[in-house]
Structure 1
Amino acid sequence: MTGTTDFTEYVNLAARALGAGVVAANDEWFAEKENLLKPEPPVFAPHTFGPKGQLMDGWETRRRRGASAEHPHPGPDEHDWAIVRLGVPGVVRGVLVDTAYFTGNFPLTGSVQAAALSGTPSVEELLDPAVEWTTIVARTDLKGDTAHTFEVTAERRFTHVRLNIFPDGGVARLRVYGEAVPDPAWLDGLTVDLAAQEYGAVAEAASDRYFSSPHHLNAPGRSRVMGEGWETRRRRDLGHDWVRVRLIGQAEVLAAEIDIDNYLGNAPGWVALVGRDASVDPDVWFELLPRTRVQPDTRHRFRFADVPPVTHVRIEVFPDGGVARLRLPGRLTEAGLAGLRGRLDVTG
């Protein structure tokens, strides 16, 4: 299915910042496979040539040829492919295949497959015929210079995807949106960032996202510029702004880091944190951090003691402004770990 969907609100599991990589491709004659995962939008500089032709910001293969002059075109099943290791394993909700700036050199059709492998498989292991590849996007027509979106309904946990293009051509970007499903065996007993995207936490609601997305709040790494955080419009009323984060599971929050990096004239004046345990009562919120003055372009750290378990945390900013990152170090409870184990059982 193509068209505008809301699955882009999920985490891009194929983000380089999460550790994703293009581990193999059968051909990358004109443009490198690694371009598929570049975070920035593709660009095009016409009449810019290298030894192999026009420089393209994407992955581009050479032209396939048939067996003879009498049969110069490749067979219907001949195709090129690239394999991507997801940054974090997860359930895929949607895929974006962008052929931006590929006009006379885009593939006719394409498909996407996914596989689940343990550990850190080598390229040789990924290419083993015994690997089970599940089709998550059936072979479909592609257009040039177009961002194609496809919803995915497979309720399985995958670690790798394979983009197939028929018979050849170029694709600028690939995005794989979904829900991270971490391994509870890894998290058991560890203190981790309970709000981190890489473990499946989600900024699931926000009062305002005028200038930038609340999903930036729990993105990996530190923000480099103002646009890599969450920023609201200027309020002209007596209210305040907020983001609600669903944690990776029921957990004990031990501390908070509220990073106002790169927000100077548009920093909040004050922040607060409240939490709830939705498994007990989704309507009851309690205070974690009272309304506290914050400084522009500064990381603020707070430690907690004797905080009840929570499944959600809401950061509140007064009256408005920008926050770069929210980190919530803590430990999953036994109930939180059990919830993750149950999800892993369901999704494989």
Structure 2
Amino acid sequence: MSRLPRPIDLASRRLGGGVMAANDEHFGKKERLLDPSDPVSHAAHTGLTGDLYDGWETRRRRGPGDDWALVRLGAAGIVREIVVDTRHFRGQNPPSCTIEACAVEGFPSAESVLADDEVRWVPLVKQVPLLADDVNRLPVDSALRMTHVRLSIHPDGGVARLRVLGDVVPDPRRLHGMTFDLAAQANGGRVVACSDEFFGNPTNINAPTPQLRKEKGWESNRRRSGGHDHLVIELAAKGVVGIIDYDTTYYTGNSPESFSLEGCDATASDLRDPDAWFSLLARTEGRHDTPHWFSALPAPAVTHVRLNIYPDGGVSRLRLWGRPDGTGRSHLAHRWFNSLPEDHAAAVLRNLDVPAGIAARVVPGRPFPTPAETIAALRHADDGPGVGKLLELFEV
């Protein structure tokens, strides 16, 4: 069984992340920081500005100051680890770096994020040394949901790749009242168990689409004995699955012979109990290189699903379209509201026309231990239309 869950790269280009600005990119463009592929060596190749390197690289600084790049996360979330990859930079790497993050409403420009005095930058990694030609893994201790990250290098140099690993925390305002993919990474779904990942990372299975030919899905080794392979996905929220998209695109001779889908409600049962799992789709024959869809069997709301493949093979994507139930909605809203930094929480309430005095009473009281306590605190603060709009996200 693979060691899971793994954090998601919140800055991934597949999720929509982007490098919004950098103060200098003389030798290497800022966009290379988020290239999903590993950096490659361009040794012995030169361009108009000198040797070529696969990454973001600034010119040699001759005065005071440091260089920086601003990244918009593709999926806002709680950052667990930063990877500053300096591979192939053997003399041009920065001696050290600092990483900060912030959370803002909407889709502001780089200029407004950087110039707004009300934006609160939170240090995720204080200044630390960086090794040359290495994958520098920097742990982060934070419980706050962030939307943007700023990498500062001291004083200059080159960085091949930047990965911002963490847990997606979706904004319930975007999902409220909608049928959506309960398994999707972008919505907070995550793979938490897998029997085998010899040929393909299981976290690919709920990655955004479309899948490109060079990318892989989840693929297990060839089974030479009995049994079958499986993986388990924790859904973005407890919900009722309606439509199952099972996609074997690009697996032309190595997709499973058949598959089945089971569900479990971890709020009521132990995931380790075999009897806690019930069928969402009986064992069904599949086709190579084909996107399939099926209606799920009538079943209660679930928090986890288990995809069983018989006996082995590769699956490109699994999408589970459905709606969260009342418990799922309240937990989704509770986690989001509790994890907002204070300035972002205040901005959310301001956009809902909640009076500043009420926001000042509610925001510092977080985190609330349970959804019920969050709801009680909001109701105690005010019963006006602004707070009512926020309570609607909890469906109470």
Q: Deviations over 1:116-148 (max 9, x none)?
A: 111001112111251211111110111211110
Whole-Å separation in 2 of the counterparts to 1:91 and 1:234: 36
C-alpha contact 2:280 2:297 (8 A) present in aligned 1: no
Mean Cα displacement is larger for which, 7-16 or 100-109?
7-16
Q: Determine the structure 2 residue equivalent to 1:321.
A: 313
Whole-Å separation in 2 of the counterparts to 1:226 and 1:102: 26
Return closer, same or farther for 1:16/1:8 CA change in 2, 3 Å cut-off: farther
Deviation at 1:305, TM superposition (A): 5.1
Deviation at 1:345, TM superposition (A): 2.2
Q: Determine the structure 2 residue equivalent to 1:297.
A: 289
C-alpha contact 1:212 1:228 (8 A) present in aligned 2: yes
Answering whether residue 24 of structure 2 is matched by residue 27 of structure 1, we say yes
Whole-Å separation in 2 of the counterparts to 1:20 and 1:338: 27
Deviation at 1:159, TM superposition (A): 0.2
Q: Determine the structure 2 residue equivalent to 1:70.
A: none
Q: Secondary structure at the match of 1:165?
A: strand
Q: Secondary structure at the match of 1:124?
A: helix
Whole-Å separation in 1 of the counterparts to 2:5 and 2:61: 33
Q: Secondary structure at the match of 1:158?
A: strand
Answering whether residue 228 of structure 2 is matched by residue 240 of structure 1, we say yes
Q: Determine the structure 1 residue equivalent to 2:110.
A: 123
4+ residue stretches of structure 1 with deviation over 3 A? none
C-alpha contact 1:97 1:147 (8 A) present in aligned 2: yes
Answering whether residue 7 of structure 2 is matched by residue 10 of structure 1, we say yes
TM-score between the two structures when normalised by the length of structure 2? 0.82
Q: Determine the structure 1 residue equivalent to 2:362.
A: none
Query: Which structure 2 residues correspond to residues 274-285 of structure 1 after superposition, within 5 A?
Result: 274-282=262-270, 283=273, 284-285=276-277
Q: Which residue identity lines up with residue 107 of structure 1 in the other structure?
A: P
RMSD between superposed Cα atoms in Å: 1.4
Mean Cα displacement is larger for which, 321-330 or 295-304?
295-304
Deviation at 1:186, TM superposition (A): 1.4
- The percent of aligned pairs where both chains have the same amino acid is 46
Q: Deviations over 1:99-132 (max 9, x none)?
A: 1111111111101111011100111211125121
Q: Identify the match of residue 311 of structure 1 among 303, 307, 312.
A: 303
Mean Cα displacement is larger for which, 218-227 or 10-19?
218-227
Answering whether residue 42 of structure 2 is matched by residue 49 of structure 1, we say no
Q: Which has the higher helix share?
A: 2
Q: Which has the higher strand share?
A: 1
Q: Identify the match of residue 87 of structure 1 among 68, 74, 82.
A: 74
Q: Determine the structure 2 residue equivalent to 1:184.
A: 172
Q: Determine the structure 1 residue equivalent to 2:376.
A: none
C-alpha contact 1:137 1:150 (8 A) present in aligned 2: yes
Q: Determine the structure 1 residue equivalent to 2:339.
A: 347
Gaps of 5+ in 2: 341-396
Deviation at 1:204, TM superposition (A): 0.7
Q: Deviations over 1:50-103 (max 9, x none)?
A: 22111211000011113xxxxxxx4xxx21000000001000011100011111
Q: Determine the structure 1 residue equivalent to 2:98.
A: 111
Q: Secondary structure at the match of 2:115?
A: coil
Whole-Å separation in 2 of the counterparts to 1:340 and 1:277: 16
Q: Determine the structure 2 residue equivalent to 1:287.
A: 279
Q: Determine the structure 2 residue equivalent to 1:201.
A: 189
- Count of residue pairs brought into register by the alignment: 333
Return closer, same or farther for 1:129/1:185 CA change in 2, 3 Å cut-off: closer
Q: Determine the structure 1 residue equivalent to 2:256.
A: 268
Gaps of 5+ in 1: 1-5, 67-73
